[in-house]
Copies of this chain bind each other. A is one copy, B any other.
Amino acid sequence: METTLNYISILGSFVLAISGALTAMSKRFDPFGVLIVAFATAVGGGTVRDMLLSGKSAFWLEQTSYIHFILAGTIFAIVFKSRLFHINRPLLFFDAIGLALYTVTGVQIGLQYELASVNCVILGTITGVFGGILRDILVNEVPVIFKKEVYATVCILGSILYLLLHRIQLPTVILQTVPVLFIIILRLLVIQFNISLPSLYADEREARRNNKKL
């Protein structure tokens, strides 16, 4: 199961690389700019997670298959760019799978390091969402996950579910399958019904005035 998860997680990096590459291409980056953004999108979340933990090198330094899949994803995105910009449903499906796998990996590493529950949830969420945040910082945009459809919330709920199932000591196969499926399905429902949290709107002029002083 461990290795199955691992394989699917590598597939997740393939999909996230495509997402990063498409964003970079839409910003007219050159090929190596595209590759760097794809790389940061695909490994960003797990890398930040590993940096936070002492005694842990970035995961892709130990398992190079990630890099091959990122290269493959980037080339795939470059070759099929015109088609990929049209069909986005399949991409969103894979993105949801990547998100689910990454989140669960993050929680598992938190448990392995015997961290508090709240920290496991945070590590799961960081692993799931930080790649997309880095992608948007690199192309100089406000991270899309802060505003659009429910995204981080799905990771947080999925992480909490994992911890609950872990506490009642379910067999490993259920423990790993259920939260992954939960995140995928929840994320697909969010996309399907275009669910978004209300923005905590505050009067912008006043806010800005205040921020200046702060």
Contacts and interface: CB of A to CB of B under 8 A. Distances in A.
Interface stretch (A77-85, A159-167, A168-176, A177-185): A77-85
A55 B52 contact: no
Interface residues of A, number: 86
Given A78-B200, A202-B81, A212 B144 contact: yes
Given A52-B61, A118-B67, A137 B137 contact: yes
Interface on chain A toward B: helix, strand, loop, or mixed SS?
helix
B147 A214 contact: no
A95 B214 contact: yes
A207 B26 contact: yes
Interface of A: 19, 22-37, 39, 47, 50-58, 60-61, 64, 67-68, 78, 81-82, 84-86, 88, 91-92, 95, 113, 115-116, 118-119, 122, 129, 133, 137-148, 150-153, 156, 191, 196-204, 206-208, 210-214
Please give me the 5 A-B residue pairs with the lowest Cβ-Cβ distance, nearest first: A26-B207, A33-B146, A30-B197, A28-B199, A32-B152
